[in-house]
Chain A
């Protein structure tokens, strides 16, 4: 066991009045701190430097096509789950310039801009399913024959302060996907909020050297057996409160075998092809490139931006798009998430965060679609 691993998994207590100290410590370490905050009546992720920006006393309600945040007296710091944002916007910015070139008297050359500093982020409040999502994107961007440097630079610079879920949402199904509600690895420090009458604290589990340093710097007291028992009980309760579930047994074979199941037309008739599900999904990685020239026509710029398999252009080839029908596009997306991702990256492309269900304007539910196909599956 390495020093870092043996140091891992020690449990401490972080007091609610120490959140600011945690933020300050990370900022002094050179991190830009990002975490949940409220904007436009929703929990989003943004840069925060003040503990008060974390939405204390707020809970959320999520259902298919439905999202509300509500003030609740008994709510703690993290009594809601994930919103429309995910950390991927920091690790793979929605739009990014790849390079510029200039054309001078028929000579084309790259324009080398001043290198920009890569932001080091400390993410505060990363949910277990989101840690799993980052691990999924790692496989996509870092394990292939080609490495995405843009992602790699950002990814290798982050710190992760995880928050285990005590109050799963109506569209959560991390238990089915085996990604939550407790983070098992992949964090520097993981917090579990314990909230009872007259007792409000976090059990903090160290997951790396940085986590241990935080515990030292903030002089965290070791957690007592009672604290640890309360933490376990909180997580167990959460696991029993999943809003959704999905049967994943042989799901890869199931979906790939049922590519002509009538359910695809059923969902194709409802889907608006708005691409919301792909934008909010923390694992969706598809991108496109855009070329622009300046007004003189002498400088060209190539950028990449998030793309979605729900657009018709996505599969455009000379002679027309490959996936013209809405049903084929939904089938491609869902089969990719739950099935073919396993062939490609050895892991499910869905971590059970529920975002695609909540943010679908017509309330299409991936768990319901998978269940419908299973219920009348073709062949064995």
Chain B
């Protein structure tokens, strides 16, 4: 018998088609597979492992449109070794892609409901595919509400798109910042303060949350106070990931593997784990 290279651990090569600077530390890459390979269909909420030559590989959510997956779109915040190297890529440069991996947002399940999306910081990137998908099938849903919080006004992602979403009559967008700046006239405060502003039917709502763990806990609590059953709340989790396919053990959170059981979980499933220290 001969050794084949370990299949799902081997990346597909892709080329950077376009780089868009979103904020001072975030950027969006549009990728096209090189060498005539296919882009796999993905579901909103799934992620890819992106490999930067010589630096390493990181988990990044797909932030493009699932109904139109070409090109492949990723929005990344440069925080460390690999993501800072990724930030230096230019049009025409190459990158390795493995995926898509993980569970999806309950976009189908939400049909007929009001949909409340709550994002903190870079957490808007994994939720953007949900917005695209719902807007493409807008009639199947009740209200579509986005509540978005960032640290400062200059950290707001997808500014132009937010403005165009906000100007639609069939979508509500609320943005808040933790710390204001001179020319900011919007809301100041944590994202939970936006929840009372939004009008939705708690009994007929699907909520999807993505952001830091502590933020997700408070958001879930606030939604619960509004009467949203916890079985209708979903959250996307994050842990160190080395494989993305359930084999390296790094992404464990209690009994679950975030790469294969998550990253998107029904809130019921992880609620207790979120209360445990260093789990």
Verify B2–A116 contact, CB threshold 8 A. yes
Whether a CB of chain B sits under 8 angstroms from the CB of A66 is no
Verify A98–B240 contact, CB threshold 8 A. no
Verify A157–B94 contact, CB threshold 8 A. no
The residue in chain A whose Cβ has the minimal distance to the Cβ of B79 is A318
CB within 8 Å for A145 and B255 given contacts A101-B53, A115-B4, A285-B247: no
Whether a CB of chain A sits under 8 angstroms from the CB of B252 is yes
Verify A314–B250 contact, CB threshold 8 A. yes
B262 to chain A, nearest CB (A): 13
Which stretch of A50-58, A81-89, A104-112 is in the interface?
Answer: A104-112
Verify B247–A256 contact, CB threshold 8 A. no
The number of inter-chain residue pairs (CB within 8 angstroms) is 147
**A288 vs B260: C-alpha distance when bound (angstroms):** 17
Verify A317–B260 contact, CB threshold 8 A. no
Whether a CB of chain A sits under 8 angstroms from the CB of B221 is no
Residues of A within 8 Å of B34, CB to CB, are 107-108
Whether a CB of chain B sits under 8 angstroms from the CB of A224 is no
**A260 vs B278: C-alpha distance when bound (angstroms):** 11
Could you say which of B2, B6, B55 contacts A291, with CB atoms under 8 Å apart? B55
Verify A287–B248 contact, CB threshold 8 A. yes
Which stretch of A174-182, A321-329, A365-373 is in the interface?
Answer: A321-329
Verify A146–B8 contact, CB threshold 8 A. yes
B102 to chain A, nearest CB (A): 10
**A318 vs B123: C-alpha distance when bound (angstroms):** 14
Verify B242–A108 contact, CB threshold 8 A. no
Q: By DSSP majority rule, is chain B's interface helix, strand, loop, or mixed?
A: loop
B204 to chain A, nearest CB (A): 33
Residues of A within 8 Å of B55, CB to CB, are 291
CB within 8 Å for A291 and B54 given contacts A117-B3, A285-B247, A318-B80: yes
CB within 8 Å for A153 and B250 given contacts A99-B10, A144-B245: no
Could you say which of A144, A157, A288 contacts B1, with CB atoms under 8 Å apart? A157
CB within 8 Å for A98 and B239 given contacts A108-B96, A148-B247, A307-B249: no
The residue in chain B whose Cβ has the minimal distance to the Cβ of A340 is B255
The residue in chain B whose Cβ has the minimal distance to the Cβ of A300 is B54
| B1-28 with Cβ < 8 A to chain A | 1-10, 13
A356 to chain B, nearest CB (A): 16
**A285 vs B6: C-alpha distance when bound (angstroms):** 16
Verify A106–B245 contact, CB threshold 8 A. no
Query: Known contacts A98-B9, A286-B250; can you find 20 more A-B pairs with CB under 8 A?
Result: A99-B10, A106-B92, A117-B1, A120-B1, A145-B245, A147-B7, A157-B1, A256-B254, A256-B255, A285-B249, A286-B248, A287-B249, A293-B53, A297-B54, A304-B248, A315-B239, A317-B239, A318-B79, A322-B240, A332-B252
Residue positions of B touching A, CB distance < 8 A = 1-10, 13, 34-35, 51, 53-57, 79-80, 92-96, 238-240, 242-243, 245-250, 252, 254-257, 260, 276-279
Closest 5 CB pairs of A and B: A286-B249, A328-B278, A340-B255, A343-B255, A146-B245
Residue positions of A touching B, CB distance < 8 A = 98-99, 101, 103, 106-110, 112, 115-118, 120, 140-141, 144-150, 153, 157, 256, 259-260, 285-289, 291-293, 297, 300, 302, 304, 307, 309, 314-318, 322-325, 328, 332, 336, 339-340, 343-344
